[in-house]
Amino acid sequence: MQGQHWAALFAAALLHCIEDSHAASVFRCVGADGHVTFTRHGCASDQEQYLQDTRNHTPSSGKAIPLATPGRRTATTSASNGELIIVGQQDDGCGNLLSSSERRQAIIRKDVRRGMSRSDVESSLGKPDRVTASNGQERYHYREKRKGGNSRQVSFDEAGCVKK
């Protein structure tokens, strides 16, 4: 009887170890500039180190864990001047004059618009027949392949963006 008791305790101990084996030690490292990094190898000496809870809660294991905070916004307004601040907007290098859908539509229509990059123009019209440069500004020259076809020039500014 006592042997069965020890066997049951041993089995329970093994099961307990297996249950906790899914959790890994993950450290949250916060640099002096506020940059956060997650690692399993510990933080650098100039970073603050916190042990991160990495348990993967199973459904119905208790209170529901929200995936996001309701009402959270991605854009905020500066209190001083009312200027809208966009968080996470990618800078295309040409002043973000075109939205991604406007850029895509222009390329599909083989149109060139102000604010497009060299690669956008090449996606729209293909490789230029000739490229010239003057005063740090490039110009792409296109000729229609058919006889008597029109020619077209696309001028870029110093940043490589369509000027007009």
The mean pLDDT of the chain is: 76
- Higher-scoring residue by pLDDT: 90, 95: 95
Give how far Cα 99 sits from Cα of 46, 53, 70, 92, 116, Å: 41, 40, 28, 10, 10
Mean pLDDT of 5-33: 64
Instruction: Using pLDDT thresholds of 50, 70 and 90, give the confidence band for residue 139.
Output: very high
Give how far Cα 142 sits from Cα of 105, 107, 164, Å: 20, 16, 16
- Higher-scoring residue by pLDDT: 130, 9: 130
Residue with tokens 């490789």: 127
Q: What is the pLDDT of residues 103-118, one digit of tens each?
A: 899 999 989 999 899 9
Q: Is the pLDDT of residue 132 over 80?
A: yes
Determine the pLDDT at residue 21: 45
User: Facing residues of 84 across strands?
Assistant: 77
Mean pLDDT of 8-24: 54
Determine the pLDDT at residue 72: 47
Determine the pLDDT at residue 67: 64
Q: Is the pLDDT of residue 146 over 80?
A: no
Q: What is the pLDDT of residues 26-71, one digit of tens each?
A: 888 898 888 888 888 888 888 988 888 766 666 666 666 666 565 5
